[in-house]
Amino acid sequence: MTAIACLKIFIGANVREANQATLAGLVTKVAGAFLETRWRWPRRWGEVAPFTFVIADPRTTRLDGHEVTSLAEELHFKLFGQGTDGDVRLLMFEGEPDAVMRFAAQDPAALAEYLDHAGPVEGLEGRLLRVTADGVYALAPAHEVGAVPPPSLPTSLPPTSQATPTASPPPARTVPESDWEATFRGVYSTRNATFVGGVVQAGRRDGSVRSSLVDGPSCMPDGDAEAFDEACINETVAALAVSEPSGVLFVPMAYQAIIHRGQRQTRETWLHRLPQAARPRLAVTVYDTPRDPPYTAIVQIQTLLRPFFAFIDLQTTDPDFQIDKLANEAVNSVTLALPDADDPVRVAVAQRFLRNREAYKRRRIWPALTNVRTAREIDSFVNAGIPFLSGMGIAEPVQTPVTATPWPKISLPMTDNPEPARRRG
């Protein structure tokens, strides 16, 4: 289970009212720097509104408010120096993701009363703490109200022979028998003129279904997404058992499956089949990602997938994907799947996506394009500085994982002449 909480930062009213815009920027800078260095992966954080941050830790069921007392101290020093004047206090609300996000959306003026009085926030069930540089005070639930002591440290370490292991032994990585088989599609780095690896795709052995993430909407998994996702994981395990490819393997995973608890738990069971030693060479492509995924969905994606994959890619069909709403480095890349349409429509969609290049640079997230089909498109996207491309114009299906291979642009696409992905309709 992942612990998740919202931090709302309150500054003395005289300072806040005098310099609202400047103050908000300074708080963002100080709090962002603090969380960037103190709240490292696999813990995640993001700013969701001025003076408001959401933090999460997949390794625990409860967060320690004492970890953010230093943030209150740093903000006090930046705003008021070393003197005793000034007022910096934080409210930290911890609970279920929906409750945390409702707390984050509340007007700070309506929450200010909790800075001085204990009690639950109306309509929200969770744990409420007041955090200052001097310590932590629990405001809700009622049975916890009072000063929160810092966690005690052990006086000695247990003997080595009795030490509790840090993780349970990995389960056996058995792959069920399947009527699916995989092929692989190269992902091309335009900056280095190199294939960096390939996307796993799968089809039924009888040829009735062959789905792919790189050939446009007509080839995407539809009603068979669950079977497709499991087949791609199983085929990745099988490929890794045969050899250790030098390229990155991009494994598909449906967005909707990750945000629904039951399906997410099923996917996690499958993911344990992947060998942990292969993680540096594994990436995941979360397909059918909507234009504006909520912060809680990004946390769920990170929590589920980071232990198994070194790289996370979000794939969307919307060129106006809201990149500025993601935290810096929330994922590694966002890939736009170009539509199945005439050239003018495809060009227009790509241009809309490319207008946000600076936003991707600010967020330190790579933009990428898939369903690239022609040499003209390749030239255009290379000139536009898109770092990664895939699609039929880049690489046809091949039978073995794509290795890291230098490949001149003039020689695209990579071919191996297996059966291509079949388009529906």
Alpha-carbon distance 120 to 59, whole Å? 26
Per-residue pLDDT at 333? 95
- With respect to CATH, is domain 3-150 assigned 3.30.70? yes
Position 290 confidence tier, pLDDT thresholds 50, 70, 90: very high
Pick from 382, 395, 384: nearest CA to 193 = 382
Q: Where are the beta strands (DSSP E) in 174-310?
A: 180-189, 194-204, 210-211, 248-254, 282-287
Position 29 confidence tier, pLDDT thresholds 50, 70, 90: confident
Alpha-carbon distance 157 to 408, whole Å? 57
Per-residue pLDDT at 79? 77
| Of the listed ranges 35-49, 213-227, 331-345, the one predicted with least confidence | 35-49
In the predicted structure, residue 204 carries a pLDDT above the cut 90: no
| Higher-confidence position of 412 and 23 | 412
In the predicted structure, residue 41 carries a pLDDT above the cut 80: no
- With respect to CATH, is domain 180-411 assigned 3.20.20.450? yes
Per-residue pLDDT at 176? 55
Per-residue pLDDT at 113? 87
Which of 28-37, 302-311, 346-355, 410-419 is modeled with the greatest confidence? 346-355
Instruction: Report the pLDDT averaged over residues 15-30.
Output: 73
In the predicted structure, residue 194 carries a pLDDT above the cut 80: yes
Instruction: Report the pLDDT averaged over residues 109-126.
Output: 88
What percent of the chain clears pLDDT 70, i.e. is strictly above it?
87
Sole residue written with tokens 């056996």: 172
Alpha-carbon distance 211 to 190, whole Å? 25
| Cβ count within 10 A of residue 396 | 19
Distance from the Cα of residue 140 to its chain's centroid: 31
CB < 8 Å & 24+ apart, contacts of 355-362: 356/320, 356/321, 356/323, 357/384, 357/385, 359/323, 359/324, 360/323, 360/334, 362/324, 362/328
Per-residue pLDDT at 175? 53
Which of 13-27, 74-88, 359-373 is modeled with the greatest confidence? 359-373
Per-residue pLDDT at 177? 58
In the predicted structure, residue 197 carries a pLDDT above the cut 80: yes
Per-residue pLDDT at 17? 52
CB < 8 Å & 24+ apart, contacts of 348-351: 349/319, 350/319, 350/377, 350/380, 350/381
Instruction: Report the pLDDT averaged over residues 23-43.
Output: 82
Per-residue pLDDT at 373? 94
Position 46 confidence tier, pLDDT thresholds 50, 70, 90: confident
Q: Where are the domains of the chain?
A: 3-150, 180-411
In three-state secondary structure terms, 421 is: coil
Position 18 confidence tier, pLDDT thresholds 50, 70, 90: low
| Higher-confidence position of 34 and 2 | 34
Per-residue pLDDT at 424? 37
In the predicted structure, residue 322 carries a pLDDT above the cut 80: yes
CB < 8 Å & 24+ apart, contacts of 372-381: 372/338, 373/338, 374/343, 375/412, 377/346, 377/347, 377/350, 378/409, 378/412, 379/409, 380/347, 380/350, 381/190, 381/350
Sole residue written with tokens 């903000």: 75
The answer to whether 129 touches 144, Cβ cutoff 8 Å, is no
Instruction: Report the pLDDT averaged over residues 63-84.
Output: 81
Alpha-carbon distance 194 to 366, whole Å? 16
The answer to whether 295 touches 262, Cβ cutoff 8 Å, is no
Pick from 66, 93, 80: nearest CA to 9 = 93
Per-residue pLDDT at 153? 41
What are the tens digits of pLDDT across the range 137-185?
A: 999 999 999 998 876 543 333 343 333 334 444 444 455 556 788 899 9
In the predicted structure, residue 64 carries a pLDDT above the cut 70: yes
- Residues contacting 277, CB < 8 A, separation 6+: none
| Of the listed ranges 3-17, 295-309, 363-377, the one predicted with least confidence | 3-17
